[in-house]
Each structure stands twice: as C-alpha cells, then as structure tokens.
Amino acid sequence: MSNLLIKPTTMNHSLILNRVNSPEDLRKLPEAELPKLADELRQEIINAVAQTGGHLAPSLGVVELTLALHYVFNTPEDKLIWDVGHQAYAHKLITGRREQFHTLRQYKGISGFPKRIESPYDTFDTGHSSTSISAGLGIALAKHMQKDPNRAIAVIGDGSMTGGMAFEALNQAGHLDKNLIVVLNDNEMSISHNVGALSSFLSRKLTGKTVTRAKKEIENLLKSFSNVGENILQVLKKSEDSFKGFFFTPGMLFEALKFEYVGPIPGHNLSDLVKTLRNVREFSEGPVLVHVLTTKGKGYPPAERNPGDYHGLGPFDVRSGVPVPPPPGPPSYTSCFGNTLIKIARHNPKVAAITAAMPAGTGLSRFASMFPDRFFDVGIAEQHAVTFAAGLATEGIRPVVAIYSTFLQRGLDQIIHDVCLPNLPVTFAIDRGGVVGDDGPTHHGVFDISFLRFIPNLVFMAPKDEDELQHMLHTAILYQGPAAIRYPRGSGMGVELSSTLEELEIGKGELLKSGTDILLLPVGNRVYPALEAAAGLEKIGIDAAVINPRFIRPLDSELIIEWAAKTGNVLTIEDNVRRGGFGSSILELLAQERCRAKVKVLGYPDRFIEHGTQEILWKNAHIDPPAIISAAMELLDRKNGEC
C-alpha cells in the first residue's frame, strides 16, 4: 500500500463536518451552518486531492450545490445522478465516505466516480458524460410506474450538455411530461473552455443587475409609447417569467423542449439554492430545469484562476498550487502525436484535426493555436466528431480524429457506417489505448482492439514506441482509406525520433528477434516488455523469437505463420481484453492456416478492471515482463528454474 493511504490523524473537533456522517445528519443542521460546512468540505477536498490527485476544480465548483441538493431532497430515496461523476467529491464526503476519502482513486481505495456498489447514495455509475438525463428519466419513469412519489434529479454540466444524448433525453422528457428535475451546472467550462452555439446561448444570462437594468430600460422605452406601451408593461410586470420570456433567455431553449425553466441562480449562495430547490421540490410538476451558475475551482485561487489545468491533476502543493513534478521521463505518446501532426500539417494543407472536448488531453492545443482554421473542437460529441470527419473526407480533407479509446466506444456505428463502409480516408488517433490508471474501469481503453479489428476496410496499427507512432501517423494520413492508430497513456519509450517520416508498408510486421523455442507476439506497448522477457528467457536457456506486428489489421500473416511454425509455441500479449482481441485474431489466423502451434493469450480477463496504477494493473493481468517469462515457461511446460 502506498503511504498516500495513511489517513491524517489530527481531527479538529470544532468541525461541523465531524457531525455529518450522512445526508440525514446534514438535514438536521440549521441552514445558517451550511456556508461554514461548505468551507470545511472545500478544505477537505483540497487537502485530499493534493495527495491523491483527481478532479479538483469540478468538485470545488459544486460544493454548495451538493449541500443544497442533499439538504432539500430526501436522498437516497430521492435519486441524485451526477453527470460524468467527476464533481462528486463533496457528495462522497457527506455520504459516509469521509473516512476512506484519503484513498480516493488509489488501488483498492474508493473510486473517483459514483459507484452503486460503493454507496446507496450513488444512484448511477458514471464516468462518460451526458448520460444523467437519460438515466434520471428512466428512474423518474420507473418511480411513476410504481407509484413512488420520490424524485429523480440529474445534475449536468454545461460541457456535458453538449453531448447529443443529453438532448435525446430532454426531447423524450419533454414529451413524457413526468416529474424530472435537471440541474444545469453552468460554469462556462468543459475541461477547457466550453465551445459551441449552446455555450454562447447559455451565457446570455439575465442575472441580478443585468435584469434590473434591462427592466428599467424596457420600462422607460414602453412608457414612451403612451397607452399601448403602458398596457404591454402591465402584462409583462404580472410575472417575472413573462418579463424574462420577453427577452432572449437561456430558458427559451428548455421551454421549447417543454421543460419549466428556473434560473439562473447564483450557485454559491446557499440560501438562494435552498430556497429555489425547495420551491422546485414542492411546486414543480413535469420536467423542470434549474439553471445554476457556478465557478469552476471555486474557493481555491489557483484552480479558480486556471480551471482547465485544475480540472484533473496529480498531487500538488496546497500552499502554492504547484503540481508535484512527475518523475523525469521521456515525452508522452500524446505529445509525440501532437508534434508529428503539426509537422505533417505544415506540409499538407488538407490535414485537419478534430477533438471532442479534449484539446489538451489529446495533445492538440498547439495544433489548435497554429492552425485555428483546421482545428475543430466539436464538444463532447464523439459520434458527431466521427461523422463530421467523414463529411470532411468526402471533400478531399484529411481529417485526423483524436479521441481516447474509451470515448471512441461512443462512435462505433459512425466508424463502421459512415467511415469504413464508404472507405473514407479518416485517421483515428486513439489515445489511452490500454489501462489508464486511477480513473478506472469507466476510462480504461481495453476494448478497442476487440471492437475495431473486425471492421472491413480499416487499417489498424499500434506502435511499439513513439518513433513508430510518428511513422504510423504519416502512413495513416497518406493511406487512401480509414486508418486507426492506438497508443497508450503516458511516457514513450525514450527512443530517438527520426527526423524524416517513413511510409510503412501496410500489413507488414517486423521480426525483432529470431528464436527457436517460442514466438512472443506482443502488440503496441507490450513490445518492449516482451523484448525484456525474451532477454530474461534467454538467461534460462529459452530462445524466444519476437515479432512486432505493427498492424493489428491487416495482419502480417506470412511472417506470423512462418515463426509460429518454426517455434511451435506462440504467446500473444496485449493491453486489451483477451476476448476478441489481438490474441484472438492470432488464434483465428493459426486455425485458418492449419498451423498447429500451441498458443497462450495474455491480456485482461473477462471482467471490468478496477482502478490502480498502470504498473499494478499490468502486473495483475500478467502482461509485464516477469509474467511474460512465467507464461512462456508454462507454455513450454518448464517449471521455474528448469532449463
């Protein structure tokens, strides 16, 4: 266990938080104590995340909102659904997980996201965005069908509201007209600044002073139109709602979808929040949207100043806010991808880059500032990103869609139907292929080999190191059809980057080491561990051949069959699930070619993989060098130490 798991022992007995072990305790507090409790929660979150790393700014932004929701609603009977769930730290702290909070995102510790198995207050498992309204509507309908009067409340950020699913759900909710509360947590930020027409629409806010000023101006204007104006004014004055409706307000959008719109409400004012939510709880019927304005990173100056950088971060120094420098290491695959794309785009004006709300995470920030006309942040809209790229490709543009493996799951049909079926030259840069570490099962990219390798027309590559990534990107962009490259989270191998980009022959692997006893067939980031294992095996008298397949599809069948036949034993290794993965494709190939080699497939088993560092998870899955050695010995029926 890491020493991060050692819990701080000093307890301040004057803390209100010490008296709040559940929302029930919270509801016993006088309302006047809530602001102090909010301060204490902020401190607790900052101190813990400084040790563990995590989603700091989103969680700091919703401390008051979290308290108000649990204070007003009867959780867990009333169901609270957090979109993405990265903002739920205050929720975790007041729902009985304060004792474990220091284990946040640590191996065997509590998850960074809501989890039904962790707490009855975690109504719905989340991690991917824009699901909360759909889930909330399902819950609301189930309650309606079973005559349960309790409420469903979905809390969704303005960034997550850019996801198509959110609108699909709003559309159905408006039509069904059943009780559902949607709280829009509007901080004008996604991870980076929020983008799109919705975002600018939402920021036309008629808050406090603006409303009053606008009201005065309109009153004066209408008064100048004698009787007619006076009459209109009387009608408008009858209700604040109609007055606001007279303007162009964010509410119009939701009202058009048949939601009652309440807001905008200042999201750090507990008495406003409590009052409004109480009214909503008591008087609203049908779908209602409560628009709450918050500040991302609220209460921690470094995070407020720079909410993008403090969205999610590793450990940091609380006083200065400065992140603890990561151990020195080679540049990441992500940055190599970003730099190479810039290199290519300089010479090829047709190249465009697309991200779904992750410009920094996918390494595209510099590209965005260098080529603003060829960079598109589509919002959290992976499906749209893929088909948008397909459209660009039909007109001769060479789009490169950079999406994390886990989020590309959203775009599978679009890849099949809109890109691969018409054989369009779209490149997919699939970052975070393999386990990602602390974010856990919602974010591990361990399925992409399985869900992409069967798609006709798709060329699918995985580099062994960052230099090969460069050549693969170059190859993909030159290729006259769809191509995908999956690469892992984290540092490259520290190899030298060749200055010229090489076009690789499609479907050609490379023999890295010849050998007579066994063929090691690792894919992507498992190539170097396999080479290390081969060196270890050599020490105990086992002569292993190693092939870097480079292409998951099409496979270099000839090379693989040749060495499988020569050695008679094949060990495949992948940072992906075993089912339907790279090893499966080798089994299919060997069966098809009637090659009688003995085969063992290493990769993740048929279950979801927990959170923990990549190293721990690789070790657990037996895909690190010592485990590869053991597996090879087992395949060859050699016992440990036996030559």
Ligand X SMILES: Cc1ncc(C[n+]2csc(CCOP(=O)(O)OP(=O)(O)O)c2C)c(N)n1
**Residues annotated as catalytic (active site), given as ranges:** 296, 382, 410
Query: Does residue 90 touch ligand X according to CB under 6 A?
Result: no
From 143-151, 325-333, 354-362, 471-479, span contacting ligand X (CB under 6 A): 354-362
- Find out whether 359 and 365 touch, Cβ atoms under 8 Å: yes
Nearer CB in complex with ligand X: 290/627? 290
Query: Does residue 202 touch ligand X according to CB under 6 A?
Result: no
Kindly state the smallest distance separating residue 356's Cβ from ligand X, in Å.
6
Kindly state the smallest distance separating residue 128's Cβ from ligand X, in Å.
4
Query: Does residue 87 touch ligand X according to CB under 6 A?
Result: yes
How many Cβ atoms sit within 10 Å of the Cβ of residue 154? 29
Query: Does residue 60 touch ligand X according to CB under 6 A?
Result: no
Binding residue count for ligand X, defined by CB under 6 A: 24
Nearer CB in complex with ligand X: 182/358? 358
Query: Does residue 380 touch ligand X according to CB under 6 A?
Result: yes
- Find out whether 246 and 255 touch, Cβ atoms under 8 Å: no
Kindly state the smallest distance separating residue 578's Cβ from ligand X, in Å.
25
Nearer CB in complex with ligand X: 357/590? 357
Q: Residue 633 contacts by C-beta under 8 Å, 6 or more apart in sequence?
A: 537, 540, 542, 639, 640, 642
Rg (CA), the chain: 28
State the binding string over 585-624 for ligand X (x if CB under 6 A, else -). ----------------------------------------
Cα distances (Å, whole numbers) of residue 616 to 5, 181, 276, 435: 16, 41, 47, 10
Query: Does residue 427 touch ligand X according to CB under 6 A?
Result: no
Nearer CB in complex with ligand X: 51/160? 160
Q: Nearest to residue 411, comparing CAs of 439, 388, 431, 443?
A: 388
Query: Does residue 355 touch ligand X according to CB under 6 A?
Result: no
Tokens of 450: 């399985």
Nearer CB in complex with ligand X: 260/431? 431
Kindly state the smallest distance separating residue 59's Cβ from ligand X, in Å.
8
Nearer CB in complex with ligand X: 60/633? 60
Query: Does residue 61 touch ligand X according to CB under 6 A?
Result: yes
Q: Nearest to residue 610, comparing CAs of 88, 45, 118?
A: 118
Q: What is the sign, positive or negative, of the torsion defined by CA atoms of 533, 539, 541, 546? A: positive
Kindly state the smallest distance separating residue 493's Cβ from ligand X, in Å.
27
Report the residue from 80, 84, 94, 476 that binds ligand X according to the rule CB under 6 A.
84
State the binding string over 382-421 for ligand X (x if CB under 6 A, else -). x------------------------x--x-----------
3-state secondary structure of 358: coil
Query: Does residue 128 touch ligand X according to CB under 6 A?
Result: yes
177's torsion region: left (phi>0), alpha (psi -120 to 50) or beta?
left
Nearer CB in complex with ligand X: 191/623? 191
Report the residue from 112, 114, 136, 159 that binds ligand X according to the rule CB under 6 A.
159
Report the residue from 37, 357, 519, 586 that binds ligand X according to the rule CB under 6 A.
357
Nearer CB in complex with ligand X: 168/241? 168
Kindly state the smallest distance separating residue 282's Cβ from ligand X, in Å.
28
Question: What is the Cα–Cα distance from 197 to 294, expressed in whole angstroms?
Answer: 20
From 96-104, 154-162, 318-326, 533-541, span contacting ligand X (CB under 6 A): 154-162
Residue 205 gets which letter from DSSP? -
Query: Does residue 112 touch ligand X according to CB under 6 A?
Result: no
Question: How do beta strands 398-404 and 351-355 pair?
Answer: parallel
Cα distances (Å, whole numbers) of residue 471 to 264, 475, 498, 500: 50, 6, 9, 9
Nearer CB in complex with ligand X: 154/345? 154
From 136-144, 197-205, 350-358, 628-636, span contacting ligand X (CB under 6 A): 350-358
Kindly state the smallest distance separating residue 581's Cβ from ligand X, in Å.
22
Question: What is the Cα–Cα distance from 252 to 521, expressed in whole angstroms?
Answer: 58
Query: Looking up tokens 């995070």, which residue turns up?
Result: 303
Q: 193-201 contacts: CB < 8 A, separation 24 or more?
A: 193/308, 194/158, 194/159, 194/162, 194/379, 195/162, 195/357, 195/377, 195/378, 195/379, 196/162, 196/378, 196/379, 198/158, 198/161, 198/162, 198/253, 198/379, 199/158, 199/162, 201/250, 201/253
Question: What is the Cα–Cα distance from 387 to 393, expressed in whole angstroms?
Answer: 10
Kindly state the smallest distance separating residue 410's Cβ from ligand X, in Å.
6
Question: What is the Cα–Cα distance from 75 to 114, expressed in whole angstroms?
Answer: 14
Cα distances (Å, whole numbers) of residue 420 to 111, 353, 507: 36, 19, 17
Kindly state the smallest distance separating residue 57's Cβ from ligand X, in Å.
7
Which amino acid is located at 28 in the chain? K
Query: Does residue 491 touch ligand X according to CB under 6 A?
Result: no
Question: What is the Cα–Cα distance from 315 to 54, expressed in whole angstroms?
Answer: 8
Kindly state the smallest distance separating residue 479's Cβ from ligand X, in Å.
27
Kindly state the smallest distance separating residue 268's Cβ from ligand X, in Å.
14
From 188-196, 433-441, 504-512, 606-614, span contacting ligand X (CB under 6 A): 188-196
Question: What is the Cα–Cα distance from 155 to 176, expressed in whole angstroms?
Answer: 19
3-state secondary structure of 522: strand
Report the residue from 129, 179, 276, 584 that binds ligand X according to the rule CB under 6 A.
129
Report the residue from 23, 53, 54, 58 that binds ligand X according to the rule CB under 6 A.
58
Nearer CB in complex with ligand X: 405/585? 405
Query: Does residue 191 touch ligand X according to CB under 6 A?
Result: yes
Interface positions, 279-318, toward ligand X (CB under 6 A): 296, 311
From 36-44, 167-175, 182-190, 448-456, span contacting ligand X (CB under 6 A): 182-190
Percentage helix, strand, coil for the chain under 3-state DSSP, each rounded to 5: 45, 15, 40
Query: Does residue 451 touch ligand X according to CB under 6 A?
Result: no
- Find out whether 519 and 547 touch, Cβ atoms under 8 Å: yes
Query: Does residue 548 touch ligand X according to CB under 6 A?
Result: no
From 352-360, 411-419, 541-549, 626-634, span contacting ligand X (CB under 6 A): 352-360
Tokens of 387: 């088909």
Alpha helices in 257-332 (DSSP H): 270-283, 301-305
Query: Does residue 362 touch ligand X according to CB under 6 A?
Result: no
From 95-103, 283-291, 351-359, 513-521, span contacting ligand X (CB under 6 A): 351-359
- Find out whether 603 and 577 touch, Cβ atoms under 8 Å: yes
Question: What is the Cα–Cα distance from 299 to 119, expressed in whole angstroms?
Answer: 27
- Find out whether 85 and 66 touch, Cβ atoms under 8 Å: no
Query: Does residue 105 touch ligand X according to CB under 6 A?
Result: no
Q: What residues make contact with ligand X under the rule CB under 6 A?
A: 58, 61, 84, 86-87, 128-129, 157-160, 187, 189-191, 296, 311, 356-358, 380, 382, 407, 410
